[in-house]
Copies of this chain bind each other. A is one copy, B any other.
Amino acid sequence: MNVVDKDSPLPMYYQIEEDIKRRIEEGSYETGKPIPSERELSEKYEVSRMTVRQAISNMVRDRLLYREKGRGTFVAEQKFEQPLDGVTSFSEDMKRRGLSPHNELLVFEKMIPDETTKDILALGTEEVYYLKRIRYADNEPMAVEETFIPVRLFPELEEKVFGVMSFYEYIETKTDVSIRSARQTIEAGIAGEDEAAPLAIDEGAAILQIERIGYLTNGLPFERNISTYRSDRYKFISDMYRN
């Protein structure tokens, strides 16, 4: 009868989270209504109240529940089917939108970076990989993208990787470092000759310019990415939370 297994290798607070999620999905716990109190749950699952609190705290952090002092703990509205927050690569972004991404790799080479890039990536006299790509979604050109990556961080990076997987996938599966965060700067511009041709738009059309600087868990910058999107087909969408 009891849903938590004290001998399971999974921590009990985790098992409780899963059970509460299940009940929310099946509708036993309704959106906007309170779930049972912490004391009731600790009796029900036969664990201490602190353990129930840990489960609930995690779910509050993930915004599945919210607490109100003196009133109770409530099921939050599940507004966003798929979260649109967080750092994503072009490939991931397109897949999330239900489109099929692919690349045309125009340039892949090692080079000495310009001053701005050197500064941003905190480099000395080191080389970077330089990539220039046209990004397609469902076979339509969406963006022109330039990327600078310090060679030192990924000495074994090869051109063929970019045909097979997303660079972010590569980092997370093939290396022992991981991505922490990015700072994005977004501005509007007007397409010149260089942008208009590859994107198949008119000169003078609006374009969206996004510069992203990505950071690893240890705090080091690992990429500078400059993208130019056609604004008739692409909107930048993101979910943000109040801190």
Contact = CB atoms under 8 A, between A and B. Distances in A.
Interface of A: 31-32, 50, 61, 63, 66, 74, 76-80, 83-87, 178-190, 204-208, 215, 217-220, 231, 234-243
Given A76-B217, A77-B219, A235 B85 contact: no
Given A77-B220, A207-B188, A87 B241 contact: yes
B183 A208 contact: no
A76 B180 CA distance: 10
A219 B181 CA distance: 27
Contact of A188 (B84, B188, B219): B188
A83 B243 CA distance: 10
5 contacts: A32-B218, A76-B180, A77-B220, A183-B240, A190-B206
Contact of A239 (B183, B189, B190): B183
Nearest to A80: B183
Nearest to A61: B61
Contact of A182 (B31, B74, B205, B239): B239
Nearest to A189: B206
Nearest to A77: B219
Contact of A87 (B66, B83, B183, B240): B240
